[in-house]
């Protein structure tokens, strides 16, 4: 049953209760039903809980949000479409999926959710982005693109060599970021890697990157 539409201005001056009671009833019932959405209602329902407490929170997708001084805001939006303080948020795969954000009163934006659990994957955790992947290559050096561009900076990048079963050869490798450890924030979309002492039993490496 749909929630009754609220009609402002009731009861109007000079009207009797009989003339207005249906509209008044709809206004009161509709207000009660609206407040009960995402909340325990006045009667402690659902279940037997403190009235006014949250149940599930349904958030309408926002397309544009501006900061409010001394106020923190939490909202949902689509990366690549959501505009925060006149700046469009970077798109992340899977494209078009809704994510959760936090915006501080000083304009600090954190993406709180978003993940892709694949061989090459990523996970946002409270504003921190963790990415991982696997490179299968016997080349001596190359560039690898991250699944998601780090919006500001990478502060950790580690890797482990992959060798064939039974290998006893020592292998040397490096992974490094150009400009990623700069003193100013800048997007980081890739890293360079180099490995030496290659032989037929060295097939690549796994990597993990952490940043924001």
The model's pTM is 0.67
| CATH match for 115-211 among 2.60.120.560, 1.10.579.10, 3.40.50.920, 2.60.40.3940 | 2.60.40.3940
Distance CA 140, CA 65 (A): 46
What's the CA dihedral at 196, 197, 201, 205 to 10 degrees?
-30
Domain-wise residue ranges, the chain: 1-58, 64-111, 115-211
Structure token pair of residue 85: 């303080």
Q: In tens digits, what is the pLDDT along the chain, a chain of 212 residues?
A: 789 999 999 888 888 888 899 999 999 999 889 888 999 988 888 888 898 899 999 999 999 999 999 999 999 999 989 999 999 987 776 668 899 999 999 998 888 888 777 778 888 887 889 999 988 877 777 888 888 888 888 888 888 877 776 666 666 666 666 655 566 788 888 888 877 654 557 778 889 999 98
pLDDT at position 65 is: 97
CA proximity to 103, closest of 115, 80, 87, 122 = 87
How deeply is 161 buried, as exposed, middle or buried, from its count of CB atoms within 10 A (0-12, 13-18, 19+)? middle
């Amino acid at each position: 049953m749909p929630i009754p539409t609220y009609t402002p201005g009731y009861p109007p001056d000079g009207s009797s209760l009989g003339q207005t009671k249906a509209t008044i009833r709809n206004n009161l019932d509709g207000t009660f039903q609206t407040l009960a959405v995402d909340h325990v209602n006045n009667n402690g329902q659902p279940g037997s809980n403190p009235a006014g407490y949250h149940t599930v929170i349904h958030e309408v997708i926002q397309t544009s949000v501006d900061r409010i001084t001394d106020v923190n805001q939490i909202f949902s939006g689509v990366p690549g479409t959501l505009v925060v303080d006149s700046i469009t948020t970077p798109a992340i795969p899977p494209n078009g999926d809704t994510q959760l954000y936090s915006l501080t009163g000083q304009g600090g934006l954190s993406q709180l959710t978003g993940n892709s659990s694949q061989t090459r994957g990523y996970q946002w955790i409270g504003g921190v982005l963790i990415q991982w992947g696997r490179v299968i290559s016997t080349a001596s050096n190359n560039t690898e693109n991250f699944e998601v561009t780090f919006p500001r900076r990478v502060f950790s990048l580690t890797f482990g060599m992959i060798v064939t079963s039974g290998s006893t050869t020592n292998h040397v490798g490096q992974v490094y970021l150009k400009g990623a450890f700069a003193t100013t924030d800048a997007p980081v979309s890739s890293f360079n890697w180099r490995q030496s002492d290659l032989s037929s039993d060295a097939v690549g490496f796994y990597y993990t990157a952490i940043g924001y």
